[in-house]
């Protein structure tokens, strides 16, 4: 029935090192290496100078090539959100991973416990059942894991909410299995990252720090020591870094950026990061009053709004599964079938997750094609 | 630097044939085979009895396993939206493919022309440059392609808009290269599929038919014969099938369905299709007033709204990258960490594109794990 002998380029990279960026096949994601490296160096230096560790979040880029650059720039390790993501990063040689999530289900805990035999793995919990599942799996596997208690600092998603719960859970961690170690607190608030004004973000982090500090005080009073206090993202990392409480921060989007993060007003002492991630599309149809690009909802996530077109006088009107319709202002220069145009994604994480490749370039030349190895790693 | 010797389950299917559906790892997509087969049989029988061909759209499922079932149920061939999709389906043994899109760019036309040496391939055009690019590539490759002229019937995306343009373009197709054959008209309006009332959809298709009929009349008067008139989707296929104009229809979502299509009021003679596609998630955290599932924006597309939870008394509040927060009505039965729940996707095409596997089950038992082989085929 099949043509097993046939082999097509279906999964090949849209460009190779040395190609001109004009020859990248579309729709593709480009990474401007100058901007990427600026962002990487600036954020890491600020955090390291403040005396904290950087644990870059791999969920934003899903690419071991980027993780290795983050480690080379001083990151302690990376964060993942999924067990299967962590597997892919460990396989690529990353040795220190925090899974910033609750891991529930016997298949998943068995995989985490197996992974912990090959790398330093930490996970988060907010319920005794999670501790029991991972404890049983680690005992069976003979591996050891660090366990962080997640505290809800206003995100209203996962996390315990008071010291009483924290002490009970720390006790469960310490008593349930000698394969688990209570290592500290995970306190991250996604919604704080996107508050537009610096004073809003400062107030959110300040209130989080107060809450976490109170919980830690009571944990210490019950002889549970918090080695690690981790959290903070691209929008707030310097607030956590100057809190005298957090020991590490977890920025993810900072190396790539997107229009949603760029819409934040930066703090006075914090120049804005640069857009390093761009969608590249080809104009495939030109009509009276609009033109059509060859990438749509399967190339750009729209949960944080439409991608922003970088073409003077033109803007994005709508996206459908495979197309983006763009429209001109009066007097805009015409576009032509075959033209290539760039768009800045509105939300980098789910956009990168739609692509198998990131095309890293400098100037006009492709330097590397980075596989998005953990693309679609959902489990 | 890497652990090349390590091998983890990262890309493995979340279930195997014979597994209970209670043991499917999450977040996963399930396909209810009874509903799937009902939808398949019902739509194909209605179209075939009306004397038209069914050319199922592969962009909805991206899975050769489904395409082969569509062919076995009488489909003539499939539609694809992308060259790389078509490559994957040809490699899986599908021999007759219409790419319902304009193919622009020298790399892409070279790939289409190469593919046409192995299978019957048709493409769409709305501009002479597209004809020239594919004509040159087919001549170089020595392959032959059918070329359809796309007519804009109200979608305001791609497509020519009058008979004059159609005749010019048909002449270009016939004259530019002996490797191209003018084969007819592609006339599809995505927006008509989701008009809620049957009379709205009927009016849209009626006006499209009138426009296309006028263009075909003038093409025939200039000696350009239209073998193929193709279009119509899950929302309108029976309208095109009873038009005495279309020769084939292109439904895609019909086998899987989603909440957006289910929100259409069906025509009186057309009982609604069944939901066959379900997201399966695990409750990973339970808090006062809400609970959290282990799949978010990377498991469910939200461009057509939030997925619909199938859990009495609970509803979806919000999705973030990796989580879905669900909230109870007063008096709803509690959920527990580890519970598995189902959600109906709002838009099947971009949701399937987020997953590497479709888990086909019957009753309580997994029958097959279908790879979404063309997942992410963007080029």
Is residue B330 within 8 A of residue B300, CB to CB? The reply is no
- pLDDT for the residue numbered B2: 44
The closest of A237, A215, A236, A240 to A226, measured between CA atoms, is: A215
**Percent of chain B at pLDDT above 90?**
96
Is residue A301 within 8 A of residue B297, CB to CB? The reply is yes
User: What is the topology classification, in CATH, of domain A21-30+273-371?
Assistant: Lyase, Ornithine Decarboxylase; Chain A, domain 1 (2.40.37)
Q: Residue B371: list chain A partners with CB under 8 A.
A: none
User: What is the topology classification, in CATH, of domain B33-258?
Assistant: TIM Barrel (3.20.20)
| B213 CB neighbour count, 10 Å cutoff | 13
Q: How confident is the model at residue B1 (pLDDT cuts 50, 70, 90)?
A: very low
Average pLDDT over residues A106-122: 97
User: What is the topology classification, in CATH, of domain A95-251?
Assistant: TIM Barrel (3.20.20)
Q: What is the pLDDT of residues B100-149, one digit of tens each?
A: 999 999 999 999 999 999 999 999 999 999 999 999 999 999 999 999 99
pLDDT exceeds 50 at position A191: yes
- pLDDT for the residue numbered A8: 84
- pLDDT for the residue numbered A1: 39
- pLDDT for the residue numbered A112: 98
Q: What is the pLDDT of residues B168-181, one digit of tens each?
A: 999 999 999 999 99
pLDDT exceeds 50 at position A111: yes
Is residue B53 within 8 A of residue B76, CB to CB? The reply is yes
The closest of A208, A210, A146 to A174, measured between CA atoms, is: A146
- pLDDT for the residue numbered A339: 98
The SS3 assignment for B278 reads strand
Return the structure tokens found at A42. Answer: 């600036």
Is residue A281 within 8 A of residue A300, CB to CB? The reply is no
Q: How confident is the model at residue B7 (pLDDT cuts 50, 70, 90)?
A: confident
Of A104, A161, A379, the CB nearest to B284: A104
- pLDDT for the residue numbered A5: 63
Return the structure tokens found at B362. Answer: 């019957």
The closest of A123, A58, A47, A60 to A91, measured between CA atoms, is: A58
**Least-confidence region, from A3-12, B191-200, B249-258:** A3-12
In this prediction, the answer to ipTM > 0.85 reads: yes
The whole-angstrom distance between B68's CA and the closest CA on chain A is 9
pLDDT exceeds 60 at position A3: no
The whole-angstrom distance between B347's CA and the closest CA on chain A is 10
Q: What is the dihedral of CA B71, B77, B83, B88, to 10 degrees?
A: 20
The closest of A185, A176, A91, A108 to A136, measured between CA atoms, is: A176
pLDDT exceeds 50 at position B37: yes
The SS3 assignment for A372 reads coil
In chain B, which among 209-248 make CB contacts under 8 A with chain A? Answer: none
Is residue A101 within 8 A of residue A147, CB to CB? The reply is no
Q: What is the pLDDT of residues A116-129, one digit of tens each?
A: 999 999 999 999 99
What backbone torsions phi and psi does residue A215 show, to the nearest 5 degrees? Answer: -65, -45
Q: Residue A158: list chain B partners with CB under 8 A.
A: 284-285, 287, 292, 323
pLDDT exceeds 50 at position A44: yes
Contact flag A298-B2 (C-beta cutoff 8 Å): no
pLDDT exceeds 90 at position B201: yes
In terms of pLDDT, which residue wins out, A271 or B318? Answer: B318
The SS3 assignment for A172 reads helix
Q: What is the pLDDT of residues A53-87, one digit of tens each?
A: 999 999 999 999 999 999 999 999 999 999 999 99
Q: Residue A87: list chain B partners with CB under 8 A.
A: 8-10
Contact flag B159-A376 (C-beta cutoff 8 Å): no
Residue of A nearest to B298 (CA): A350
Residue of A nearest to B107 (CA): A25
| A199 CB neighbour count, 10 Å cutoff | 10
Q: What is the pLDDT of residues B338-370, one digit of tens each?
A: 999 999 999 999 999 999 999 999 999 999 999
Q: Tell me the pLDDT of chain A averaged across its residues.
A: 96
Q: Which residues contact B330 (CB under 8 A, 6 or more apart)?
A: none
Q: Which residues contact A96 (CB under 8 A, 6 or more apart)?
A: A55, A76, A77, A78, A119, A120
Q: Residue B374: list chain A partners with CB under 8 A.
A: 10
Contact flag B319-A303 (C-beta cutoff 8 Å): yes
Q: How confident is the model at residue B166 (pLDDT cuts 50, 70, 90)?
A: very high
A194 has a chain B CB within 8 A of its CB = no
Q: What is the dihedral of CA A114, B336, B286, A62, to 10 degrees?
A: 30
Average pLDDT over residues A230-235: 97
Cα A73 to Cα A111, A228, B24, B223, B300: the distances in Å are 29, 21, 39, 68, 34
> Would you give the distance in Å from CA B353 to the centre of its chain?
10
Alpha-helical segments (H) within chain B = 33-49, 64-72, 83-91, 106-115, 128-141, 163-176, 190-193, 198-221, 237-241, 259-262, 348-352
Average pLDDT over residues A36-54: 98
The SS3 assignment for B318 reads strand
pLDDT exceeds 80 at position A260: yes
A95 has a chain B CB within 8 A of its CB = no
Is residue A56 within 8 A of residue A96, CB to CB? The reply is no
Average pLDDT over residues B236-246: 97
Contact flag B25-A107 (C-beta cutoff 8 Å): yes
Q: What is the pLDDT of residues A290-349, one digit of tens each?
A: 999 999 999 999 999 999 999 999 999 999 999 999 999 999 999 999 999 999 999 999
- pLDDT for the residue numbered B11: 82
Q: Which residue has the tokens 């009066």?
A: A330
- pLDDT for the residue numbered B5: 63
| Residue A254: DSSP 8-state | G
Q: Which helix (H) or strand (E) holds B39?
A: helix B33-49
Domain boundary assignment for chain B: 21-30+273-371, 33-258
Contact flag B8-A115 (C-beta cutoff 8 Å): yes
Residue of B nearest to A22 (CA): B105
Contact flag B337-A130 (C-beta cutoff 8 Å): yes
pLDDT exceeds 70 at position B77: yes
The whole-angstrom distance between A305's CA and the closest CA on chain B is 10
Is residue A101 within 8 A of residue B322, CB to CB? The reply is yes
């Amino acid at each position: 029935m099949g043509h097993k002998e046939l082999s097509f380029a279906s999964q090949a990279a849209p460009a190779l090192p040395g190609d001109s960026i004009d020859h990248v096949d579309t729709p593709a994601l480009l990474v401007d290496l100058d901007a990427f490296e600026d962002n990487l160096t600036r954020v890491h230096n600020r955090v390291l100078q403040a005396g904290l560790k950087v644990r870059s979040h791999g969920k934003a880029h899903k690419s071991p090539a980027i993780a290795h650059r983050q480690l080379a720039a001083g990151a302690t390790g990376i964060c993942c959100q999924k067990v299967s993501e962590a597997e892919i990063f460990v396989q690529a040689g990353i040795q220190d991973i925090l899974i910033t999530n609750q891991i529930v289900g016997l298949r998943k805990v068995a995989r985490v416990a197996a992974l912990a035999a090959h790398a330093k793995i930490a996970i988060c919990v907010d319920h005794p059942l999670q501790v029991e599942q991972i404890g049983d799996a680690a005992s069976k596997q003979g591996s050891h894991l660090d366990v962080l208690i997640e505290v809800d600092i206003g995100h209203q998603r996962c996390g315990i909410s008071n010291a009483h719960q924290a002490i009970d859970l720390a006790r469960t961690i310490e008593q349930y299995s000698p394969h688990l170690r209570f290592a500290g607190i995970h306190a991250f608030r996604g919604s704080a990252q996107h508050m537009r004004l610096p004073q809003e973000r400062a107030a959110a982090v300040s209130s989080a720090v107060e809450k976490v500090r109170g919980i830690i005080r009571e944990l210490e009073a019950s002889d549970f020591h918090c080695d690690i206090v981790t959290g903070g993202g691209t929008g707030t990392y310097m607030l956590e870094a100057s809190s005298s409480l957090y020991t590490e921060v977890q920025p993810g989007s900072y190396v790539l950026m997107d229009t949603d993060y760029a819409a934040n007003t930066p703090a006075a002492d914090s120049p804005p990061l640069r857009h390093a991630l761009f969608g590249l599309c080809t104009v495939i149809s030109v009509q009276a009053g609009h033109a059509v690009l060859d990438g749509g909802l399967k190339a750009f996530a729209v949960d944080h709004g439409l991608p922003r077109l970088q073409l003077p006088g033109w803007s994005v009107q709508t996206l459908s599964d495979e197309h983006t319709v763009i429209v001109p202002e009066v007097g805009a220069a015409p576009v032509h079938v075959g033209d290539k145009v760039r768009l800045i994604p509105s939300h980098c994480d789910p956009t990168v997750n739609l692509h198998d490749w990131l095309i890293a370039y400098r100037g006009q030349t492709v330097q590397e094609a980075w596989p998005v190895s953990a693309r679609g790693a959902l489990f």
